[in-house]
Every structure is written in structure tokens, then in C-alpha cells.
Structure 1
Amino acid sequence: MRPAKPLPSSLRAWAEQAVGPLSCVRDASHPRENSRVWDITDSLGRRFFVKQSPTAAFYERETFGYRSAVPALGFGRAPRLVDTDARRLAMLLTAVPGTPVSRLTLTVPEHRAAHRQFGALLRRLHGTEKMPAQGRRAAEAAAERTAADAGKHLARVGDRLSGNRRALVRRAADHVLRLADLLTPGHIHGDARERNALWSRSGPAAAPAGMRSSGRLSMIDFERSRYAPVVQDFVRLACGPWQDRDDLRTAFFQGYGRPLTDAERQALPCFAALDAVSCLVHGPAHGEHEVTERGLRTLDRLERGTFL
């Protein structure tokens, strides 16, 4: 078990300027070296989170996301930004109720309801209908950048990839470049997976219209949010819980309100291949075996033609 990361005194003093004296501080970081998150409670019993971004780029993405796109999700569907400190790359966020779906044992109806709400919330976040012109340009550039990064990852991955898999990744990158201007743009979450979706059974039953359920989904962790093709927000779900659960994918797109376009159907396995080779670079370099395994599983499914 890793040692707890104490909240630095300077960050504690900064948080107390906004919410008053703290009665409780708990390390809530992910089990990786550069994760810095603390669950704090003030003297009135209100919970907040202090998050220190690992890089300026993540800080800028997350604060921009909270200010521009996240409010579209609605009250209580995501944390609210209380204060920021650019010098410390720090954010003070309200807490939202719930437990990550990845840590729960849900009934089949609950699990479907969670993915249906996940789809509805991502459709709101993507905001495609109100996409500014600069957002559309940024989304197309993001697709091209993702494809270009594949070459760098292939150079770093070494002999962990066979010749056939290298060719598969190169074909995927080429196809993304051909599809870039056909893909629907949006403000994506960037790490849309069950770990970042909180399910609350005790919350109000205010599911999106037409989606009544006994639970409520909220979303957290927007440090990878950015303008990009919206199909990129489906990759981690397609490489995770949807692998053996077509019903969850169906429920998600019911909530999303539309099926994949023809271009998105072609692009999804391509982006998955590019994500997989990235996993094979990042996972071994940081000792994150689950990330490495995800990349290998994805490439195996793509090779066997069983990805979708």
C-alpha cells in the first residue's frame, strides 16, 4: 500500500481562505505518483476536493472545462469550481455524491441505467449543436495530432509489438487522417470511463427526461477535457465495459440520443488502436500494468476482428 500524501500547508491555508477551517483531510489521490487529490471537510460538515494538476496543460484544460462546458451537465451532475490558483496549479471543487461505477456491483437494470445516463450527460457535455468555429477547428487538429502521435509511440514501444500489429496501428492512423474532417466535433471529457462516473442510489431520481431510474449518475475528473471528435469519448468504454456487454453500449447510445455515424463507426476502432499503442508506452514506463493489459486486449480484439 502506498503512503498517504499529506495536504501541503500552503494548499490547506489557501483552501481555508475559501471555506473556513477544515475538520478533516483525506488523501484521495489515484495510485500513481503524479496524482494529487484530497477530500476535505469544513467545520460545517461540507465536503470539497483540492486537486493539484500534474502539469500546466492539465490545469488549463480542466479549469477551461469547468468554466465552459461542465455547467451544461446541470446541477449536481459534476463538481463545481469554487476557486483556482494558477501558480500552484490547484483547484477547489465541490463534492458530488456517489461511488465510481467501476467499484460497484450493480444489478443489470442499474448498470444499464448508469450507462444510459452516461450517454445523456456526455451528449450535453459535447455541446456539438453550439460548437464555436474555433472548437471545430481545434477538434479536427486534435484528430490529426492523435494520428501523428502514433509514429512516436511506435518508435518508443520497441519489440513489444509484432510487425502485424505495427502495420495495424499505421493503417489506423492513416484512416483517422482521412476521416478527420468528417467526424463530429465536441468538447469531450477525454477520460470517459466507469472510474469517472459516480452512481448514487440514494440521490434524487431526476434522471434526464425519459430516463427514470432509481439512481443518479455524476461525472468527475475533467483534466483531459478538450475539443476533439466526440467519438474519442467512446474509446475507453468500448475497450472496457462494452467488450462483453452489448446491452450497456445500447443503453449508452439510447441516452446519447443518436447512433454512431458511418464515419464514427470507422473511426472508433482506429482511435482504439491508437489508444492501445499509447497504453503500451505509458503502462510499462509508469508501472501501470492495467493500462498495459488494456492496450494488449484491444490490439488482440482488433486483430481478431471482434472489437465491435
Structure 2
Amino acid sequence: MKATKPLPDTVRQWAQQRVGPVASERDASHDGDRSRVWELAGPGRARWYVKVSPSATFFTRETRAYRHVVPALGHSRAPQLIDSRAEDLAMLLTVAPGAPVTGLDVPSASWRSVHEQAGTLCARLHTPGTLDTGGQAEAEDALRAAADGVEKHLGRAGYRLTGDEQQLVRGYAARLRRIGPVPVGYVHGDNQPKNWLWSGSAVALVDFERARPAACVQDLTILAATEWLDHPDRERSFLQGYGRGLTGAERNALRCLTALDAANCLAWGPDNGDPEVTARGRRTLDRLMREDRP
């Protein structure tokens, strides 16, 4: 059982100044030290969430996304930012409808609907018009930056990858640097079902701490390495909601990105006691090694 994390007094007082008396609070954090989220209950059925970011970078990314990009998703399709407190890296958020889809017993037909709606929401995020001049430049450089980060992942993963696997990942990083132009926009950054809420009829997105300007295809990496491998119908549904298929350059980039993701998973997963992330990386590497053999 995870240890309950207490809501800091300064954050509680600040939240009550913004929304009024808080009758109760519940630790709603995920497992792991970096997640710090609390559900607050007020008079009647009023509810809010308080999130304390793990770093200033994540705080800046998430508050920027809530203020400038998330409103494009539409009413009730994401939490709304009530206020933020930079001194504590704290955000006060409304509650979006639904529950994380990964914890629900969702029928196959509904899974297709979930992916189709998620595709529609991602398309709204990825609209190039959301980027200013600096964001456009950052997005256009995102694939090269991802390729440049591969040595850091390999160094942290160490012995968890064989020499041949390291060579494979480096090859995909080099290939990623040669990818031609691809569509860019504002991406969620951790786009996967654990960050999708399902109300039974509608999807909402949560957790925007990794949101940033990037190549749009980067938002599909985790889905391509997990959900879509076993359920190609879900990929078709997502792209139907997305409103377009992927270009050849995007397909090429996506394969490269899954290889880089695998190295990152095998660096981060074991170090943070996350067997799901570790398994994702191992499965991807095993698959790419099989498929790339002459």
C-alpha cells in the first residue's frame, strides 16, 4: 500500500482562498514519489484537484498548456485551470468528467470509440495555429532533439541493452535525423489511455505536464508501442478521429521513435520500479531486433 502524502499547509490555505472552505481532502497521487495530486471536496458536491508539479519545467509546461492550448479541446474535455501558485509549483484545477480508462472494464466497441475521440482531441491540440514563432522553431527541431538524447538513455540503461540492441537504437536515432519535414503542433507529451478519462460516452484528456511544441507524430509513440500493436482496429479508429492518415515520413519517424522510447523505458522503468514501462521497452526492442534481422 502506498504511503499517503499530506497536502502542504500553504497549498491548502491558498486553495481555500480561491474556492472557499474545504470539507475534506484525498490523496489522489499515482504510485511513485514524483506524483502529488489531491482531490478536495467543498460544500455540497463541489470538487477540485490540486496538483503540485515535480519540477519547475513541468509546472511551466502544464500551466502554459492550460492557459493557451487546452481550451481548444472544448467544454468538459479537460480540466480547467482555476489558478496557479508558482512558489509551490501548485495548480488548482476543475474536475473533468469520467475515470481513467485503464481502470475500467471497457467493451471492445467502446474502446474503438475511446480511441476515435482521443484522435479528435489530439487533432485539436496539434493544430499548427497554436504555435508562436518560438514554438514553431522548437517543434521543427523536436525530432533532431529526440535523436540527440539517445546517448543519455543508453547510458542510463547500461547493461539492460546488449551491444546489438544499443547499435540498433543508435541506427534508428541516425535514421530519425534524416527524416524530412513532418507536421508539427502542440503535443500532449504523455498521450496514452492512463491519461484519458472515459465517462461512458465522452473522452477527456488530463496531465499536461509534458505538453510542448513538437512533431505531431511524437504524440503517437506510446500508442504505437502498446495499444496499437495488439489492436490495429484501435489505430484505425484513432486516425479516423484524427482526421487524416500518417504521411510516409511520419510512419518512418514513428518506428524510429519507438526504438528511442524503448531505450528510455529500459533506463527509467527499472530505476523507478515501474514494471509496465520496463516491459514496454523490452517488448519493443525484442520486436525490432526480430524484424530488422536479414
Partner of 2:11 in structure 1?
11
Could you give the per-residue CA deviations for residues 92-139 of structure 1, whole angstroms, max 9, x where no partner exists?
000011111111111121110010000000000111255433222101
Instruction: Tell me the secondary structure at the aligned position of residue 191 of structure 1.
Output: coil
Partner of 1:188 in structure 2?
187
Partner of 1:272 in structure 2?
258
Deviation larger for 191-200 or 136-145: 136-145
- Equivalent pair of 2:185/2:215 in contact (CA under 8 Å): yes
AA at the equivalent of 1:124: R
Partner of 2:196 in structure 1?
197
Distance 2:99 2:229 in 1: 22
Distance 1:91 1:134 in 2: 25
AA at the equivalent of 1:258: R
Q: Where do residues 249-288 of structure 1 align in structure 2 (5 Å cutoff)?
A: 249-288=235-274
Distance 1:138 1:44 in 2: 45
- Equivalent pair of 1:69/1:127 in contact (CA under 8 Å): no
Partner of 1:221 in structure 2?
207
Q: Where do residues 23-34 of structure 1 align in structure 2 (5 Å cutoff)?
A: 23-34=23-34
Could you give the per-residue CA deviations for residues 132-159 of structure 1, whole angstroms, max 9, x where no partner exists?
3322210122222211110122122222
Deviation larger for 14-23 or 43-52: 43-52
Partner of 2:135 in structure 1?
135
Instruction: Tell me the secondary structure at the aligned position of residue 141 of structure 2.
Output: helix
Distance 1:305 1:69 in 2: 38
Instruction: Tell me the secondary structure at the aligned position of residue 87 of structure 2.
Output: coil
Partner of 2:282 in structure 1?
296
- Equivalent pair of 1:135/1:185 in contact (CA under 8 Å): no
Partner of 1:46 in structure 2?
46
AA at the equivalent of 1:241: E
RMSD: 1.3
Q: Where do residues 145-164 of structure 1 align in structure 2 (5 Å cutoff)?
A: 145-164=145-164
- Identity percentage over the alignment? 47
Q: Where do residues 96-175 of structure 1 align in structure 2 (5 Å cutoff)?
A: 96-129=96-129, 131-175=131-175
Deviation at 1:220, TM superposition (A): 0.2
AA at the equivalent of 1:61: R
Could you give the per-residue CA deviations for residues 235-260 of structure 1, whole angstroms, max 9, x where no partner exists?
11111211210100000000000000
Distance 1:260 1:273 in 2: 18
Partner of 2:59 in structure 1?
59
Distance 1:131 1:239 in 2: 27
Deviation at 1:61, TM superposition (A): 0.4
Partner of 1:234 in structure 2?
220
Distance 2:190 2:202 in 1: 19
AA at the equivalent of 1:36: R
Distance 1:225 1:304 in 2: 33
Distance 2:268 2:213 in 1: 23
Instruction: Tell me the secondary structure at the aligned position of residue 231 of structure 1.
Output: helix
Instruction: Tell me the secondary structure at the aligned position of residue 198 of structure 2.
Output: strand
Structure 2 unpaired stretches of 5+? none
- Equivalent pair of 1:20/1:42 in contact (CA under 8 Å): yes
AA at the equivalent of 1:250: R
Instruction: Tell me the secondary structure at the aligned position of residue 197 of structure 2.
Output: strand
Distance 1:132 1:90 in 2: 26
Partner of 1:208 in structure 2?
none
Which runs of structure 1 show a deviation greater than 6 angstroms over 4 or more consecutive aligned residues? none
AA at the equivalent of 1:137: A
Distance 2:10 2:208 in 1: 24
Distance 2:99 2:275 in 1: 23
Deviation larger for 239-248 or 297-306: 297-306
Instruction: Tell me the secondary structure at the aligned position of residue 26 of structure 2.
Output: strand
AA at the equivalent of 1:17: Q
Partner of 1:210 in structure 2?
none
Distance 1:290 1:106 in 2: 20
Instruction: Tell me the secondary structure at the aligned position of residue 210 of structure 2.
Output: coil
